[in-house]
Structure 1
Amino acid sequence: MTTTASPTVSPWAPLRRTVFRNLWIAVLASNVGTWMQTVGAQWLVVPEPNAATWVSSVQAATTIPVLLLALPSGALADRFDRRRLLLAVQSGLFVVGCVLTALTVMDLMPPPLLLVFTFLLGVGQALTLPSWQAIIPEVVPRDEIPSASALGAVNTNLARSAGPAVAGLLVAHIGPAAVFAINAVSFGVFALALLIWRRKPRTPASHPEHLGSALRAGGRYVRYSPVVRRLLGRVVLFVLPGSVIWGLLPLVAHQELHMGASGYGILLAALGVGAIAGALLMPRIRDLITPNRLVALAGVVYGLALIVIALVPDRYAVTAVLVAAGLAWMTLVSRMNATLQLFLPNWVRARGFGIYQVVFAGGQAVGALLWGQVAQSSSLRVAYLAAAALMLLGTVTVAWWPIHEQDGTDRSPAIFWAEPHLMLEPHLDEGPVLVTAMYRVDEKNVDAFREAMEDLRGSRQRTGATRWGLFRDGEDPARFVEVYQVPTWAEHLRQHEGRLTVRDEEIEEKAAALARGPAEITHLLPADGNADRNTDGNSDGNAGGKPDSGH
């Protein structure tokens, strides 16, 4: 789905909101510290033997934790208070940053140990990203989300501009320990902003999810959401080859352009300047360029930039094309991010972004290792040319594998199913539960009904169903029976109590309109389950539950 902001919404509008502004500034401080940390860590290992492997390993050690932990982090963020989770994580990162600084000052930081601390900081990043992304729709209205997403890109790329430039100067004149110390302080700044934010207490879920079931529910949602799957696919095709810049730029600066730490900072700043320019142009870009054309344009620009970096060893030419590459990177990533923000319903938003971060970080981590090995075994030029070829090939695929474009649909929660009234009261963990819906459909509506039910199938599976089927009565052709299975009774109650959206309601109403009256619903429980009879004295309770007009 692609939803664009109204042209009247200023790209700066979210910053007028106090909570968003305070958190945005805090995240900026944290991002600046993170980029300074990356520059310090990478430059610390540049003099080492096998520098290409060590440099790319630093990048991989930062992103691999996101690959491993982003999805569990998203599940935690959907289950617990997101503010408190972020506060705990930032406090832990502050401690890790202080220890890293102290050991570096004492000259007790060999490359393997540096990778361990880099990995720990990456763990904190993995726990932070889904919660932060999921919080944004809580603090800005829906029509400002695209602007908030663009401001997130401005934030990241201001950090890419300022962080590396400052870090380069500090590393050159003081040493890496100085940037490690600033990074530690940045975590404290983020924690302070979270303490100031007086978020309204979150209403506890009626039926909270266990971590395992929450993970499965998040994966199931993405599996049965073609829009999200296609977005993730496009991200992989862009990030995997695009990561060559982030992974090997220190070596380009050092070996090809003969620039020091401050020069490397300038190159990263060029990327940041291009990204900031792209963020400022995003409202106009959204009005003029469709998402699929944007994917194609960004891929071509980025691919050509990689070719120039490979073939033109001139610091001015490389700096110029890095501005263009930064603009292309930001416009595509920001567009994918905003689309996902608007599409995902609140109940699964952090888990959806956890999966997004897994894909994004996975592309970066695999790319960093891949291009590092290519450069180590052949040359930087070969690595950049191979990445450019892969980028352009991936861009071509948009012709037959485009992003699904949909007009704005309402993803807000909708509670429209009738409360189930059963003669047997199942335990929450009892299951599986088989839900049936019986429809009567006139022959003239059969084809349209079948098509509508395919849309309904996706809704059922995204919100909890593990199996689904539609059957027609051979003796009574007007009678259709929808059957779907949910793992537990608690999982089915979550469908009743907040997983469904207005869009799901529209899909269900479309199918129901083609039938003769409302569907007749039954809930079938395991015959050997531990359900208790109601105390109404009825001794012949139906194990399948009481027929109802709602789920």
Structure 2
Amino acid sequence: MPLPRSLAPFRQRAYARFWAGAFVSNIGTWMETVAVGILVTTETGQASWAGLVSAAAFFPAATAGLVGGALADRIPRRRLLLTTVSAQMLLAGLLTALAAMDAAHPAVVTVIVFAAGCASALGFPTYQALLPDLVPREDVPAAMALGSAQWNLGRVVGPALAGVVIALGGYTWAFAVNALSFLAVIAAIAPLALPAPTPKVGESIRGSIASGFRYVRGDPGLRAVVGYLSLNSLLAAPFIALVPAVALKVFGDEDFGTSLLVTAQGVGAVVMALMLGGLSHRFGIRRVVLVGLSALPALLVAYALAPTIGFAAAAIFGVGAAYLACLSGFNTVAQLRAPTEMRGRVMSVNMLILGTLYPIGAIVQGRIADSVGLRATTTVAAALLALGVVGQRLLRPGSDRLMGPPETVELLSAADQPDAPASHDREDP
């Protein structure tokens, strides 16, 4: 029985192994994240330590990711990914040993988490850049969506398993499971045969990073992605960080409410991920992204104004689906528009935008919410998102049509101008 379009990437054994390995490792990472948060909060009695550790893990995404993107286009991607994953496994093993010796002091744990975050940030552009090498070009949207699905599934399964494992064996077991989970990724990466990168001779890392920015600036389709991704990261994405606050301050139910809203958002994202391949094949990734961008502000308003937590769960299910369609779509467009030799650097630019603007948006919206309330803050953010999307379309008319593979854009241009030959839509930097 043939697989549906959304699951078509699983026909490729290399992709199926890679997806499964990443899923196992993702579960382990979420288990460690939960265990670390509980450990430092318990040891210090201060919730601020949990925030500090979280920042230590996330901050490298906005800095080391650019270096990782440059390395992904210079060093064989299989070797680079094996190196960064092995480093993460060794750091998780160190954390396990410290916990077993009752020496996992919060400051030391924070340093280890930061180092692991750096290794992850160095490897993540490579992870994204190699996906198009594992599946046919027409299956790239589905492959990206399934990658997002496994991340969201891990976000639901990992914390649930963490509670069980910590109850049975303490923090040491949770850290050990994470260390072992990296073996699944290593086993999936080791047999891969990937094309060798072709770096520019004599180009420094700094020059390589700069050329990545120049490429994005010179490609009108990628510029459109950067604009929409920036709006999404600053105005929409912070809803994820504010879920616990909504559960407690709006509905007065922190524990069950947070679990319900996080699960609903995750399920919405997974459902969309399973549909995205088929939708992209039928309508094109450009239309899917534009529909997601149009629906997201309205869904955020519905979530912000929900009268009960049940209505909020239903609304955040839709928010999760629309947000996934946008984010996965942005990354898919970037994958398809970037040539192999630039793919790592192009993906690292997306990573920089999300890694910088998401925490800024979360901090700013959190501060504003303390003054005017969460409902008003989320509603205004949604309105600004809608205005930003409309503004970009007015300021750059036609840019939306460039959010797709170059060959698709050429066909659209030819359809609009039947007497003119199709031409590549790239501009000089």
TM range (shorter): 0.7 to 0.9
Return the letter of the residue paired with 2:141.
Answer: P
Aligned to 2:17: 22
Measure the CA separation in 2 of the matches of 1:142 and 1:456: 19
- Report the secondary structure of 2:319's partner residue: helix
Identical-residue share of aligned pairs (%): 32
1:329 aligns with 2:323: yes
Matching residue of 2:363: 369
Check the 8 A contact 1:298/1:329 in 2, yes or no: yes
Name the CA shift for 1:185/1:259 in 2 (closer, same or farther; >3 Å).
Answer: farther
The correspondence for 2:188, drawn from 193, 205, 216, is: 193
Q: Larger deviation: 293-302 or 17-26?
A: 293-302
Match of 2:341 among 347, 358, 373: 347
Tell me if structure 1 keeps the 8 A contact 2:58–2:355: yes
Specify whether residues 307 and 201 from structure 1 end up closer, same or farther in structure 2 by C-alpha distance, changes over 3 A only.
closer
Query: Which residue of 66, 77, 100 corresponds with 2:72?
Result: 77
Equivalent residues of 1:168, 1:264 under 8 A apart: no
Alignment pair present for 1:409 and 2:406: yes
- Are the equivalent residues in 2 in contact too, given 1:241–1:390 (CA < 8 A)? yes
Say yes or no: does 1:274 pair with 2:307: no
For residues 204 and 391 of structure 1, do their structure 2 counterparts lie closer, same or farther at Cα, with a shift above 3 Å needed?
A: closer
Deviates more, 1:302-311 or 1:118-127: 302-311
Mean Cα displacement is larger for which, 116-125 or 176-185?
A: 176-185
Partner residue of 1:220? Answer: 214
Corresponding position of 1:159 = 154
Would you tell me which structure has more helix in proportion to its own residues?
2
Cα–Cα, structure 1 residues 320 and 239, in superposed 2: closer, same or farther, change >3 Å?
Answer: same
Given the alignment of the two structures, is residue 384 of structure 1 paired with residue 381 of structure 2, yes or no?
no
- Conserved in 2, the CA contact under 8 Å of 1:9 and 1:144? no
Higher normalized contact order (CA 8 Å, seq sep 6+, divided by chain length): 2
Structure 1 residues 279, 198: CA separation in 2 closer, same or farther (over 3 Å shift)? closer
The alpha-carbon distance between structure 1 residues 456 and 308, as it changes in their structure 2 partners (threshold 3 A), is: closer
Per-residue Cα deviation, 1:207-249 (whole angstroms, up to 9, x for no partner): 3633232222212211212211110110111122223232222
Assess, with a 3 A threshold, how the Cα gap between structure 1 residues 263 and 158 changes in structure 2: closer, same or farther. same
Unaligned runs of 5+ in 2: 409-419
Residue of structure 2 in register with 1:211 after alignment: 205
After superposition, give the CA deviation of every residue in 1:419-465 in whole Å (9 maximum; x if it has no partner): xxxxxxxxxxxxxxxxxxxxxxxxxxxxxxxx99x989935x4xxxx
Say yes or no: does 1:131 pair with 2:100: no
Q: Which residue of 2 aligns with 1:247?
A: 241
Counterpart amino acid of residue 350 in structure 1: G
Q: CA deviation at 1:186?
A: 2.1
Deviation, structure 1 residue 338: 1.3
User: Deviation of residue 102 (structure 1)?
Assistant: 4.1
* Greater strand fraction, Structure 1 or Structure 2: 1
Give the superposition deviation at 1:352: 0.7
Give runs of aligned pairs for residues 312-323 of structure 1, distance below 5 A: 312=306, 314-323=308-317
- 1:359 is matched with 353
CA–CA distance in 2 between the matches of 1:168 and 1:263?
17
How far is the alpha carbon of 1:12 from its aligned partner?
1.7
C-alpha separation in 1, matches of 2:108 and 2:367:
21
Larger radius of gyration: 1
Secondary structure in 1 matching 2:330: helix
Distance 1:26 1:38 in 2: 18
TM norm structure 2 = 0.81
1:390 offset after TM fit, Å?
3.3
Q: Distance in 2 between matches of 1:188 and 1:338?
A: 27
Give the structure 2 partner of residue 458 of structure 1. 427
Map 1:40-189; keep pairs closer than 5 Å.
40-42=35-37, 51=47, 57-104=52-99, 113-170=108-165, 178-189=173-184
Amino acid aligned to 1:32: I
Distance in 2 between the 1:31 and 1:298 partners?
A: 26
d(CA) in 2 for partners of 1:237 and 1:194? 34
Deviation at 1:374, TM superposition (A): 3.5
Name the aligned partner's letter for residue 393 of structure 1: L
Give the conservation status (yes or no) of the 8 Å contact 1:257–1:314.
no
Q: Which amino acid aligns with 2:313?
A: T
Give the unaligned 5+ runs of structure 1: 1-7, 412-450, 462-551
Q: TM-score, normalised by structure 1?
A: 0.65
In structure 1, distance between residues paired with 2:299 and 2:400: 28
Q: Secondary structure at the match of 1:12?
A: helix
1:398 to partner: Cα distance: 4.9
Residue 144 of structure 1 deviates from its aligned partner by 1.8
Q: Is the 8 A contact 1:101 1:178 kept in 2?
A: yes
1:349 CA drift (Å): 0.7
Give 1:251-266 correspondences, 5 Å limit. Answer: 251-253=245-247, 256-260=251-255, 264-266=258-260
- The residue type paired with residue 13 of structure 1 is A
**For the aligned residues, what is the CA RMSD?**
3.6
In the other structure, the counterpart of 1:393 is 387
| 1:136, distance to aligned residue in structure 2 (A) | 1.3
